[in-house]
Structure formats: structure tokens, C-alpha cells
Structure 1
Amino acid sequence: MADAPDRTAGVVLAYHPTDEIRENISRLLAQVARVFVVNNSPDAASRALLAHFDDDRVEVLEQSGNVGVAAGFNAGMRAALAAGFDFVWIFDQDSTVADGMLEALLRAQSRADLKVGIVGPALRAAETGNVYDADRGQGSAPIEALISSGALFSRPLLEDIGLHDEALFIDYVDHDISLRAGRAGYTNLKVFDTLLDHRFGDSQPARFLWRRVYIANYSPMRHYYTSRNRVIVARRFGPGKWFRDDLRYSVKAWAKVLFCEQGRPKKIGAFFRGLRDGISYRDV
């Protein structure tokens, strides 16, 4: 696996990016052979920000508009596979690439005792520096579902299970592909030896009772897709451990919505529309 970094391409999904994305791309270039930047907001400001990189290993893939997280990641992954890379490492712009992260992921990916599926880093809250309880450990360990950002995919895995489900658009896209890998007999791994600093939504500080908390402040559209896709994925794979973990997270998240966020009526309405459409959704 010594040459694996040279066989790895990075994919970064951009949506109305800020200057921070350029630093993240630079961090990626220190670890991979090439980076495909998928511009999901091809307006003049985004094009200008992404237009000029001093490194010709960066390729910007302009999309027709906001095609969604699933289709955006897929565009970058297809480009990487077509260019001959054997590993694809994907990021959204809410995550920070850490030094040495790819080495740790590839070490886990090369485990001989398992049929390794998707490999991803442990998570740390970018706002507080707090490592989540479920992300504390050593080495690597099996997990049903990983978040997309920071996840490493091998070519054989993708050729076996396919890419992300573009009909989901956003939210639970990562759950779906992770659970498909598990259903196909792969073991997804969380790697505790490296940490991904990640922000959920706007990550704005607020007071909830006596505590300082951070609210995602997602739009009604995000609440719609979260509600709809949770039901779709649960119908596809059943309410396993991933669902119980997600339910605990969702209860906490909705407590913040109901007590700390603005625009609650629209968000609640979007939640119930998503629930309705998830129940009536029919897989093709």
C-alpha cells in the first residue's frame, strides 16, 4: 500500500464556498495525487473563487446548478475513477482535512481480517474541539454508517455497490451507501487514530436552559429531506443500530430547533411533509 496515496484522488463538494475551501484543498493536495472540486453553485462569485489554483492537479467540475450532495459527490467520484484512481476520498466544505489523515485511513483499509468497505475518520466538533463520545477509541472498529465527508472508497467497492443514490439529493445519502456496503458483505470502519473537524449547518451558539449549545439552523428544505430520507432509508434497511443512534441524535437536534431556532412553523411543516413523502416514496 506504499503507493496508495499516488492512487488516491480527493473530491471536494463546493456550495457557495468561502476562502476556507482553498486551504482545505491545499491540505488535500499534500496527501493525494489529484483533487476534483465539484462546484454545486456555479455563480460568478463561486467560479471566481475556484478559478485559479497554482497547482494543475486541481480540476474544477462545474455543475448546472445545485444538483445535490449525492449527484455532486458522484460527479467527482466518476471523474476520479475515469482518471484511473483506485481510491476516492470525499469531503464537503464543512470539514477540515487533518495532516496524516489519509495514511491512517489507508492503514485501516488494508486490514486483511475483514472485507473492508467504506473507511472514515472519527469526528470532532469544529466549534468546541470536543470529540464525540462515539468517536473515542484506538485503531479502527466496525460501524454501520459513516458520514460522507472524510470517507474513503475503493474502486472495487464502488464497482460492486455503485455510487450514491442521487434521488435522495441530500441527507441520509451517507447512511444509504454505508448500509448498502454492509448488505453486500463489507465492513465499514471508523478510524479513531485521526480526527475530522466537522461543522453541522451554521453551528451558531445559543443558550438552552443552563447550557451553551450550537444550533445547525437548517433551512425548511433540509428538514424536509432529513425527514423524508430517514423514512426511506429505514424502509430499505430496517431500524437497526444506525436508526437507534440516529433517533437519539434527532431528538436532541429537534429540542434545539423547538427551543432555540427561529422559523419553527415552516421547519415543523417541512418535517411533516417529508414524513408523508417518505412513507409514500416508491423505489424504482
Structure 2
Amino acid sequence: MIDRASLGIVVVFYRPDGECIRRANCYAQYGLTVVIDNTERVSGASELGLAPSVKYVANGRNLGIAAAINQGVHQLVSAGCANALIFDQDSEPSAQLIVGLPNLVDAAVASGRPVAVVGPAYEDIRLGGVAPFVRFGYMKLLRITPVGDKLLDVDFLISSGSCLNLAAWEEIGPMDEALFIDFVDLEWCIRARAKGYAVLGAPQLRLAHELGGEPVKVLGRVYPSHSPLRHYYLFRNAVVLIKRRYVPWSWKSTELVKLPVRLAIYGLFLRPRLAHLRMAALGIWHGLTGRMGEF
């Protein structure tokens, strides 16, 4: 069983619906739950329907996923929590995941291993079901099938559904707010591994999570799609990370191969084509010239 006093949960809101509120209220039974709301309008917790036990922070504007996670984790560290579960507003975790991930973090730490984060395999039916874990390989990603019950060394995890070891947070540092949204989790995992911390996948746990918008099918393969604005951040931040020295060349080489492929797919198969191409090109330019933060 988890120690309820040691577990914190951060949920990032952006224009939440009733189901988002229901999930956040449900989390409160497991540990201190902090909701960071990036919605433009400012609402009160009671107006939204959040339970009194949920700590609510309304930013009144979209500060980005990195800033929101940092705000939430700061609240949990100040409250003395040992672990932090991170969820997007639309993720649908099971009770088994909420209880299991902190236990796995604690067990790994107790074994003497420096652990930054443990996360589940995510499942998006639209993209073909359970996604593999990933290690970086030159020119292509190495995909690890999530089977068995032993933790797997991986190179990065998506933030939603992951459980952070807050004892490592201070040394690793917060999420990079200048990135704003895309590759935020990847950059933090790279930094954690560079400092000697393990990033571990839990193949026995699953998180139902939709990655991006409606997928696009090209030559029999399904790709996640995003809005033109999200493609701006995706291309900009890829270029920014390629320029950073601490980011391994194994990942950089893969991105250099994938960037022109993505550009072709988004420019040819997503509408409006011109908007996707223009925002992707602008993102590349801003990445090269060092323009960061919110668009």
C-alpha cells in the first residue's frame, strides 16, 4: 500500500470538461492532488466542481505544460511529498496504476538505485494499441515491447502517467519552461539520465492515453496529428534540442532523419496544408535563431 501522506498528484488542466473534473476529484482519495489550470479564464475550484481537498491554482493563461508541472511539483515538494504522479487532464489511469507506480519507485530507491521516474506503457487504440518503450539508437529508435513484470531501462517516458522521485528533482532540476510544450518530458529524461538517474518503464502497467489529435494514415502506417500551432512547437523544439550539447547524438540522428519525413506528411496529408507547412517552417526558423517560450 502507498503512504497517502507521501504521494502527490499533479493534474494539468486546459479548458477542462466534466470528466476532467471527475478524474481530479477521484485522485484526491490517493494523495495530495494539485490541479494547475492553464485555461485563459479564471475560475474558482468550487465553480468548476472540484472537491475541497483538491488544491487548485488558476493561471488565467496558458503558461505551457512545463511551467504547469513545475508549479504543481513545487507545491508537492513544499508539502513534503516523496513522489509525484503527473497526469494530463484526459488521461484515464486505473487504481492499479495510481497505487502501483509509487510502490515501484519506492522499491527501486530502496534497492539503492538512483531513480528519476517510473512510467507505464501507454495505450492509444487509434495508433494501434500499446506503444513500445523507447531507447535511442543511431538513425532510428529502438523499440522495447512492454512485457513481463521487471522494470526496463528506457531513455524517455511521456510525462502523463509517470511517477517522479521528488528526492531527485532538486538535482535534476525542473522542466524546461522555455520549451513550453513539445519534447518537455523527453528533455527532462535526457537531463536525468545525464546526471546518473534511471528512467524506468513498468511493462506490467498501462495508461489509456490519446497522443495528439485524430491520426493520419500514410502508406498503411498511422501517425499522430496535431494542430498547426503544435507543429510549430514540435519542429522548433526538435531543432533547439539538436543544438544542445548534452542531448545524445543517438537521438539527434534519429530526429534529423524524421524531421523531413514529418514535414512531408504534415504538409501533404493534413489540412489546411499551407498552415501546417508555414508553422512548421516558422518553428524550424525560430529553433535556429533561438526564439523560445510561447508563440
Q: Check whether TM > 0.5.
A: yes
Match in the other structure for 2:96: 100
Deviation at 1:206, TM superposition (A): 5.3
1:4 aligns with 2:14: no
Counterpart of 1:67 in 2: which secondary structure?
A: coil
Match in the other structure for 2:142: none
Match in the other structure for 2:240: 232
Aligned CA RMSD, in angstroms, stands at 2.8
Q: Kindly tell me: are residues 258 and 271 of structure 1, through their superposed partners in 2, closer, same or farther at Cα, counting changes over 3 Å?
A: closer
- Give unpaired runs (5+ residues) of structure 1: none
User: C-alpha separation between the residues in 1 aligned to 2:101 and 2:128?
Assistant: 21
Match in the other structure for 2:116: 117
User: C-alpha separation between the residues in 2 aligned to 1:253 and 1:98?
Assistant: 33
User: C-alpha separation between the residues in 1 aligned to 2:19 and 2:221?
Assistant: 26
TM-score, normalization: structure 1? 0.85
1:38 to 36, 39, 50: 36
1:52 aligns with 2:49: yes
Deviation at 1:213, TM superposition (A): 4.4
User: C-alpha separation between the residues in 2 aligned to 1:240 and 1:191?
Assistant: 26
Deviation at 1:29, TM superposition (A): 2.9
Deviation at 1:169, TM superposition (A): 0.8
Q: Deviations over 1:115-172 (max 9, x none)?
A: 1111111111054671124452222111111111111112211111111111111111
Deviation at 1:251, TM superposition (A): 6.9
Q: Is the 8 A contact 1:4 1:106 kept in 2?
A: no
Q: Kindly tell me: are residues 127 and 207 of structure 1, through their superposed partners in 2, closer, same or farther at Cα, counting changes over 3 Å?
A: closer
Match in the other structure for 1:136: 146
Counterpart of 2:94 in 1: which secondary structure?
A: coil
Counterpart of 2:5 in 1: which secondary structure?
A: helix
TM-score, normalization: structure 2? 0.82
Q: Kindly tell me: are residues 115 and 271 of structure 1, through their superposed partners in 2, closer, same or farther at Cα, counting changes over 3 Å?
A: same
Match in the other structure for 2:203: 192
2:288 to 258, 279, 282: 279
Give the letter for the 2:193 counterpart.
G
Deviation at 1:56, TM superposition (A): 2.5
Q: Is the 8 A contact 1:94 1:200 kept in 2?
A: no
1:260 aligns with 2:269: yes
Give the letter for the 2:165 counterpart.
S
Matched residues, percent identical? 29
User: C-alpha separation between the residues in 2 aligned to 1:28 and 1:129?
Assistant: 28
Give the letter for the 2:239 counterpart.
V
1:179 to 184, 190, 214: 190
Match in the other structure for 1:223: 231
User: C-alpha separation between the residues in 2 aligned to 1:51 and 1:63?
Assistant: 14
Counterpart of 2:164 in 1: which secondary structure?
A: strand
1:164 to 149, 170, 175: 175
User: C-alpha separation between the residues in 2 aligned to 1:129 and 1:28?
Assistant: 28
User: C-alpha separation between the residues in 1 aligned to 2:47 and 2:264?
Assistant: 37
Match in the other structure for 1:23: 22
Q: Kindly tell me: are residues 10 and 262 of structure 1, through their superposed partners in 2, closer, same or farther at Cα, counting changes over 3 Å?
A: same
Match in the other structure for 2:63: 67
- Give unpaired runs (5+ residues) of structure 2: 134-144
Q: Kindly tell me: are residues 273 and 206 of structure 1, through their superposed partners in 2, closer, same or farther at Cα, counting changes over 3 Å?
A: closer
Match in the other structure for 1:76: 72
Q: Deviations over 1:169-193 (max 9, x none)?
A: 1111111111111111101101111
Q: Deviations over 1:231-276 (max 9, x none)?
A: 2222223344444666777677556524432012121122122222
Give the letter for the 1:119 counterpart.
V
Counterpart of 1:192 in 2: which secondary structure?
A: strand
Counterpart of 1:96 in 2: which secondary structure?
A: coil
Q: Deviations over 1:85-124 (max 9, x none)?
A: 1211111123211221133322331221521111111111
